[in-house]
Structures are given as structure tokens and as C-alpha cells.
Structure 1
Amino acid sequence: MSTIHTFQTSKRVVLGKGALENLRNQLFPFEGAKRVLIVSSPFLKKNGYIDLIGKQLNDANMEYDVITDIEPEPTIEHIETTFKRINRHPFDLMIGIGGGSVLDVTKLFSVLLKNDVSVKEMTKGKTISNKGVPMILIPTTSGTGSEVTPNSIVTLPDEELKIGIVSPHFLPDLVLLDPTLTVTLPKTITAATGMDAFTHSFESFISNKANPISDMYALESMRLISRSIVNAYENGSDINARQDMLLGSTYGGMALTSAGTAAVHALAYPLGGKFNIAHGEANSMLLPHVTLANLDHIEDRMKTIAREIGLLEKDESARYASELLIDQIVRWTQTLNIPQDLKSYGVKEEDVPALAEAASNVTRLMNNNPKKLSVLDIEKIYRKLL
């Protein structure tokens, strides 16, 4: 019997320079909406993007409110406290414009308005029964791919962990991919989010749930990112590189929606939860070392990646191709100035057992890893970064 694979993503995706300026022409599915909530960050309010959206909403006879105080790596308390401020209004449409945290919070606000469930209950596995308020998501970083995934990540400070909530109701009705929104990204964010996107695609390609659909998106994502990440970092105004990175990030989100990530992300979550290490930086540091731990189970897949991103000039052994690919990942982190030392974030030897135990408990991701890693295996990986 053949294996059955499923794939789902956002309802409508619009790509191209100037897509945001064209929002008015994309509002036809939401003609009945009268009141809109724009969810964003302080920076985007200053640079005029909120005003640009607001004018187009007004042209469509829609009123709007704005929330711009979404925290990076938001906690349950922050999300629920902020939601109490908006729950008094009958919003018909949500527009999230920002990085992954903003998009994830927009998803949560959407379903909170239509379901009798708290964020805390969602993290404990309570079902989200009803579709939320219609959503438009507009990413301004090229990393999470959140605009096309059914995932939302929240921070649990008491448990010093991040956790993913998954629901098909988190998929938006419209996505705008406009590379001009990413040209002013600082180098550090370009680097961390870019490597995060590459990690999404890489792990989706080697995961236990990899399939023909996810493979297509993962490989094209890695091809786009590998040819443009350094250019985007060194010359942020390179609109072609920025579009490659944005599309690569979105394809990575599509890949992980179908195949899921694995041990790299599982090990990254406690680093973010306990030491506030940015998710993309944690993934970048861990990727070469987790890959080495998995290597005897993924060499053939590694060879495929190496060939697709142009590392192989002729046919070589899978082991040699794997070594080339790991070396390339390390070179990227060096060129992008991503730290490779957990000590600089305050991590100590005595923290390793607790980190490893927490990572091993992220079973949704560890079970997706191609090789079973024990707690001791995980400890060894962390220690390579000390």
C-alpha cells in the first residue's frame, strides 16, 4: 500500500516588489469586513507601512485599529494580556505585518476571538474547534515562514522553554510577500532569520516525515537561500537577493508544514526559553553539530542537497558530499558573524543536563529526527558549543 501524504498552506499568496502598495486590490475576499485590527511592532509604525495599509483600508471603507507593542519571543502572559485590550471590539479581519513573533500572535488573536480557549490551554493540547477571524499576513523578515504554516510559537518562562501550537485554523486567507519590506533589515537579523529559514528546509528534507511534496519546497528553498544569503547580508538593498530570501523562507515554511522540523529545533527551544538566545542564532549554532550526530542516517539526502545547491562539480561519495555541505554551513555562520559559543550567552557546563532533558522532552520534534538521540547524545552536542 502506498503512503498517503497531505499538504496544506495559506489560501492565497501574492509575491512581488510593491505587493504591499497593491493591498487594496487584494481585499475583495474581505468585502464584508468593517473593522480591522493591524498587529505589528513599533518600528513598522515609524517607517510608514502602517499608514500605507491604513489608507488602503479606508479606501475600501474599512475602519482599523493598531497594536504595535508585540514583544519578540512572546510569552503566554503577554499574549493574553494584550488580547484583553482587543477583545472588546468586533473585529472582522486581522492583518499581521512584521517578523515571526508578530505573525504568530496575529494567528492566536484570530482564533481567540472565535474560540472559548486560552493560550495556556492551547499549549496543553486543547483543540481549537472553530476557524478564527480572517487573516492577512505580511512578513517583514525572511526566516520563520510563519505566514504559510499552521504553527504559532510561544515562550513558557516558568518552564524555560518555547513550545509550538499547531492548528489548521492558523493558516491565513492572504499572504503578501513584498521584498521591499526586508531591505532595511539589520545584518544581524538578516543573518539569523536567513539561517533559520535554511534550517527549516534542511530539517524538513531529512525528517522522518519528508515526502515528495515537502522535498520539492525544501530543495528549492535551500537553492534560493544558498545563492543569496551572503548577498542579502552584505548588500541589504539587493532586491533580487532579498526576494530570493523571502521566497526561500516561505518555501521553507511550506516544507515544514508538511514534513516538520527535528532535533535542531528541539535543542534550540530550551536555549531560547532559558537564555533568550534568538531562535535563528540557536538553530545556526546547532545545525552543523546535530547534522554530524545524524550523519550516518542521512548521507544520501545530504548528497542531494549538496548537488542541488551547487557544491558538487562531479559525482562524489555521499560522505564527501556531506562533509562539503557541513563545511559550507560552518562557513556561512562565520561569514554572517553568527556566534558559535554558548558561553557568550551565559550557558555553563552545569546547565547542560537540564538543557538536554528539556530538549529530549520536545517529543513532537525529537520523534521526527532521522536518528534517535539519547539525553547523553544531546548533552554531547551542547558541549561542543561550550
Structure 2
Amino acid sequence: MQETFEFGLKTKIICGEGTYLQLGQLIKESTASTKTVIVTDKGVIEAGLVNLVEKVLHESNIEYTVFSDLESDPSVRSIDAAARVIQDFDADCVIGIGGGSAMDVAKMASLVAVGGASASHYELMANPFPKKTITSIMIPTTSGSGAEVTSTVVFTNAEKRKVWGWDEQMAPDVAILDPLFTEGLPRHLTAATALDALVHAIEACTGTRSNPIVEAFGLKSIELICGNVERVLHNPRDLEGRTALAVGAALAGVAIENGGTGIAHCMGHAITTVGRVPHARAVAMAMNATYRWKVEGDVDLFAKVAKAMGVHTEGLSKSEIAYAGADRFKELVHSSGLNTSLKEDGLSINDVDLLVETMTSEENQPMRENNCRFVSEEDLRSFARELLSS
């Protein structure tokens, strides 16, 4: 834990059923021309969620256009295409509606659109972003990525590598957490994205960049997610449970914004780069493979994490409680129905060297180094063998 630190939250959070109805007022308060681009994906459109937003914009006399040419993981191509739409429409507001991919594209495109360069110009902070002039509002349709409150975007570059862009002004101006927008999320996606948020919270509050505020946000996030995910999986229309998951995911987003992520994300990004595995599934698998290793680095802190996860502590030592957290995480992965084998993704034990090489790349260094214990190359090789052998 850092002895000196800063903590910031740059995004206004509006939470509750029907809060999306405030969109018109929010846009008029923050922009001059009220011309808006909605960035979303085809699945969100088919679910009818974009129609809800369009109705509010129409009734508020706000001009808008929709960009939905997105891949499942953000890419330079998608970000550049969205930026061109924002430029051509002369928009001064961007609304991201969807999971992490849609929101990440919306966030980064709103900055890229101000300059004349491609998104690739800014990867790994090679060059500074132009000054922000476009308001960004996010409405998550999953409770997972936390992208609605973070200033980092992870995307695939032209070489198919998973890289990132960062700028504090990339943090959205407003995040609307409305359970009506997650109510129809399929069971498997509800489970996978909740696990993603849970990994965020655990890694943020147990990494070397953690501090008492990050820990507080992370532990509360863990409590909300673990206390409500199975409830929502049992009853998908439980809006109270959906709201709790949305808040938990946002808290986890705030935690990683200030505390970063660790080895599970280093491995998860490598798995996605090598095998094109969806992010949420990749990081959940990676956390499952590394959890007990992590516990050895700080038993006291992982005992706190386990208690937030709701494990039974009566009669157990602090060490037993901490390791019970690993068992609880494995239980959640099992109950979610997550596929924990990479064989169908075309990966095998023969890919150990490639996976280790990707984990040790420049773009994965910050996550590789932000853990409560040192990660050796032999550790990485051991993790890779475990993942690829299942």
C-alpha cells in the first residue's frame, strides 16, 4: 500500500430506475449545439435499448445519429470510424450505450475526433490526446467493465496486439446506472461481466498501488457483487439486485481507475491477444489460476476480501479465511457456467511460450508489476501451463 497517494473521481454518477430520462436535460446543460452521436452495438439496438434513448432525445429536440459498427473488442478501426462520424456530424456530445467495448470506443473516439490523427497515434501514451471539447455520457448495459467511470481504454491495434490509451480527460462526464438497461442481459453475460467486475475490485484493492480509499471502494464492490450476482442469476428481472450489481461494477471501476489491475488482467489480456477470447471470460479464468498464489502475498488483506465475499469465518484462522476466498471465487466461476477450457479457442499446452512472451510485453508491464508479490517468469510459465492444461 502506498504511503502517499492521490485519489480522484471525475465522473458524475446518476443511479436508479428511469434515470436515463434525464439525458435531454444533461445534454442541454453541458453543450451548446446539442448535436449528439450514439455509439453502441447491434445487439443493444436489437434489444430495443437505443430506442429508449432516441425517444428521450427526440422529445428534447436534440439532433442525433447512431454509430454501431463495433467488434466484440474495441479496435483502432472502430475507434477511427466512430471519430469520423463524430467529426462529420459536428457533434458536441457522445453517448456510449453498451458494455465495455461500446463505452471504450465512445470515450476514445470523442477525443480522437478533436484531432486529425488515428487512434493508433495515442496507443501506450506515445502522444498526448487533444484537449477535450466533446461531452461524454455513458449508459452501461452490463455490470462489468467499469468503463463508465474510467479514463483508460483497452483496444486492439493494427498488429492485433491488445494495447491501451490513457488520459484523465477520457473519463466520462456522466455515467447513468439504470437497471432497466441491464435487465434483459442474458444469464451467461450477466455472470461473466459480474466476474469481470469482481476481478477488478479484488486486483485494485490488493495491488501495490492500493491505498485506504481504493481498498474501501474495492471491498464494498466485492460485497455488492458477491451478495447479488447469484440472486440476479436466479431472477434476472430483479431490478434491486441489478442496481446493486451496477453500483458494484462502477465502484470496481473507480477502484481500478486509482489502483490499477494486476496479474489476472496481465494474463487475461495475453489470452485475448493470443486466442481472441472475450475479456471477461479471460480475466475470470486468469484470476482462478492465480488467486491462491496472490493470497500468499498478503494474507491479512485477502482475509478482508474473503469476508467481503461472504465466506463463513467462524472457527477459521486468518489464513484459512483468506484461502476460503479463493474457494468462493472458484465456486462463483463454476456456478456461472463459464467455460474454463481454452481448447475450443484453439489454444493448447504448446502455446505456453507464446502466452508467456505476450504477458511479458510492454503493454502488459503495468499489470504484471501491480501485485502484492513479485511475479517471476517461472510464475508466469506455471500459470500458463495451468490455464492451457485444463
Verify same fold: TM over 0.5.
Answer: yes
Match of 1:156 in 2: 157
Q: Deviations over 1:233-266 (max 9, x none)?
A: 2321111221111110000000001100011000
Distance 1:287 1:157, change over 3 A: farther
- Tell whether the 8 Å contact from 2:309 to 2:328 is kept in structure 1 after alignment: no
Alpha-carbon distance between aligned partners in 1 of 2:207 and 2:145, rounded to the nearest angstrom: 18
Q: Deviations over 1:88-115 (max 9, x none)?
A: 2211111111111000000111101223
Superposition CA RMSD, Å: 1.8
Alpha-carbon distance between aligned partners in 2 of 1:84 and 1:174, rounded to the nearest angstrom: 23
Which amino acid counterpart does residue 371 of structure 1 have in structure 2?
Answer: R
Which segments of structure 1 move beyond 6 Å, counting only runs of 4 or more? none
Which amino acid counterpart does residue 166 of structure 2 have in structure 1?
Answer: V
Match of 1:147 in 2: 148
- The 5-angstrom pairing of residues 1-386 of structure 1 reads 3-125=3-125, 126-156=127-157, 158=159, 160-314=160-314, 316-361=316-361, 362-385=364-387, 386=389
- Tell whether the 8 Å contact from 2:191 to 2:336 is kept in structure 1 after alignment: yes
Alpha-carbon distance between aligned partners in 1 of 2:46 and 2:341, rounded to the nearest angstrom: 35
- How far is 1:132 from its partner? 4.0
Identical positions, percent = 26
- Tell whether the 8 Å contact from 2:288 to 2:329 is kept in structure 1 after alignment: yes
- How far is 1:228 from its partner? 0.9
Which amino acid counterpart does residue 107 of structure 2 have in structure 1?
Answer: K
Structure 1, 162-171 or 143-152: larger mean CA deviation: 162-171
Distance 1:308 1:49, change over 3 A: closer
Q: Deviations over 1:349-370 (max 9, x none)?
A: 1211111121122111111122
- How far is 1:331 from its partner? 0.8
- How far is 1:309 from its partner? 3.0
Q: Deviations over 1:293-351 (max 9, x none)?
A: 22321211111112233313436323201221111111111111112222232211121
Distance 1:22 1:129, change over 3 A: closer
Give the 3-state SS of the residue equivalent to 1:135 in structure 2. strand
Stretches of structure 1 that go unaligned for 5 or more consecutive residues are none
- Tell whether the 8 Å contact from 1:161 to 1:269 is kept in structure 2 after alignment: no
Give the 3-state SS of the residue equivalent to 1:372 in structure 2. coil
Alpha-carbon distance between aligned partners in 2 of 1:145 and 1:374, rounded to the nearest angstrom: 29
- How far is 1:19 from its partner? 1.2
Stretches of structure 2 that go unaligned for 5 or more consecutive residues are none
Distance 1:20 1:373, change over 3 A: same
- How far is 1:116 from its partner? 4.0
TM (normalized to structure 1)?
0.94
Give the 3-state SS of the residue equivalent to 2:71 in structure 1. coil
- How far is 1:129 from its partner? 3.9
- How far is 1:162 from its partner? 1.4
Alpha-carbon distance between aligned partners in 2 of 1:31 and 1:110, rounded to the nearest angstrom: 14
Which amino acid counterpart does residue 321 of structure 2 have in structure 1?
Answer: A
Distance 1:315 1:257, change over 3 A: farther
- Tell whether the 8 Å contact from 2:103 to 2:140 is kept in structure 1 after alignment: yes
Alpha-carbon distance between aligned partners in 2 of 1:64 and 1:295, rounded to the nearest angstrom: 49
Alpha-carbon distance between aligned partners in 2 of 1:292 and 1:48, rounded to the nearest angstrom: 42
- Tell whether the 8 Å contact from 1:265 to 1:283 is kept in structure 2 after alignment: yes
Structure 1, 257-266 or 38-47: larger mean CA deviation: 38-47
| Corresponding pairs, count | 384
